[in-house]
Amino acid sequence: PLTYQCDNEDPSSLPLLYLDMIEEDSPSINVIECQDGDSILTYLGVDDSYIQRALPSKTQTMLNESTIEINIHTEEDPHVVKIGQSLNTSEQATFTTFLRTRNQAFAWSYADMPGIDPTIAVHNITLKPDSKPFKQKLRKMHPRIALL
Q: Which residue has the higher pLDDT, 39 or 28?
A: 39
- How far is 141 from 144, CA to CA, in rounded Å? 8
Give the pLDDT confidence score for residue 142 in this predicted structure.
80
Q: Which residues contact 20 (CB under 8 A, 6 or more apart)?
A: none
Tens of pLDDT, residues 114-134: 888 877 777 788 888 888 888
Give the pLDDT confidence score for residue 22 in this predicted structure.
43
Cut 0.75: pTM above it: no
Using an 8 Å Cβ cutoff, are 111 and 95 in contact? no
C-alpha distances out from residue 125 to 11, 111, 128, Å: 59, 21, 10
Tens of pLDDT, residues 55-103: 555 544 556 678 899 999 889 989 999 988 888 899 999 989 999 998 8
The residue extents of the domains of the chain are 1-55, 57-127
C-alpha distances out from residue 11 to 36, 37, 50, Å: 12, 15, 30
Q: Is the pLDDT of residue 45 over 80?
A: no
Give the pLDDT confidence score for residue 18 in this predicted structure.
44
Give the pLDDT confidence score for residue 132 in this predicted structure.
86
- How far is 61 from 88, CA to CA, in rounded Å? 17
Beta-bridge partner residues of 70: 81
* Confidence class for position 139, pLDDT limits 50, 70, 90: confident
Q: Which residue has the higher pLDDT, 19 or 113?
A: 113
